[in-house]
Each structure stands twice: as structure tokens, then as C-alpha cells.
Amino acid sequence: MNLKMKTAVNNKTTSSVAKHPKVSEMVLLAIAILNERNGSSLQAIKKYISTSFNVEEKKISAYIKKYLLMAVASGTLIQTKGKGAAGSFRLGGCMKYKMSELLAELPNKTKTAASPCDTHRDTKSEKGSKKIKKAKTALSSTRAV
């Protein structure tokens, strides 16, 4: 009887595999995709990771901070503002090249998520330019008369 109980307990305690990539990969990908001029803030990185990889922000925030500190110390990331894990972070020298290759290999799913904002802006500028053209033609016709 005891032998059966021990095997049942051992079978239940097997660890499950995480459904998301490593924290280091998630942070580097978040910084590369956000691609902010002065670097991405800790809050922006957390928000991107929690929405993209379906993880809880509270559970993973300590690991993100720990990785950011380690990556700044190793030179993988550059801290543009702030001290410690606060502030903004950019990719280091060689990481820019590696992440640009990785982003090129990614499926269009992540690229299309950012594109609706860009297309929305383009349509506004096109509409505005059409109005200006119509107004110019109206002015020229009144002068001719």
C-alpha cells in the first residue's frame, strides 16, 4: 500500500513546462518591438510582456527587474535614464543586430499588431491633402471669374 502511495505522489509532483519563453527572451523582444527613441521603460516592458505572452504582471515583475539589472551589468542592455531597474533601457551594441535578424524571422503577427496605428495616421494625412487640393481649385476658379 505504501509503495502505491509513493508512486502516486511522485507522479503528481512532476514539474510543468512554462508556456512562455524565458524572461530574457521576452524582455529583449519587448524592447526591440517597442523600439522607443530614448529606450523602453520598465512599465512599458511589463505591459508588453503581460499582454503578448499572457503572463501575470505581478508574478513576473521580480524576474524582469532581476534580468534588467543583470543585462545592464553585462552590456546586453544600455540604461539611458534612471538608476537600478527604474528608468529606460535600450539594446546594447551587438544586440541591435541580433534582434533585427530575429524580428525579420518573426511571423507577421507581431508586425501587423503595430501597423493599424500607422495606417490610421496615413489615411488622415491623405484625407487632409485631398481637402487642400479641393480648396485650391475652388480658389483658382473664383479668381478666374
- What pLDDT score does 92 carry? 84
- Looking at residue 99, its pLDDT comes to 72
DSSP secondary structure, the chain, as one string: -HHHHHHHHHHHTPPPPPSS--HHHHHHHHHHHH--TT-EEHHHHHHHHHHHS---HHHHHHHHHHHHHHHHHHTSEEEEESSTTSSEEEE-HHHHHHHHHHHHHS-HHHHHHHHHHHHHHHHHHHHHHHHHHHHHHHHHHHHH-
pLDDT for the residue numbered 115: 40
- The pLDDT, as a whole number, for residue 88 is 94
pLDDT less than 50: residues of the chain: 110-120
- Residue 119 confidence (pLDDT): 44
Q: Which fold has domain 23-102?
A: Arc Repressor Mutant, subunit A (1.10.10)
Q: Is the pTM of this model over 0.75?
A: no
Domain assignments of the chain as residue spans, ordered by start: 23-102
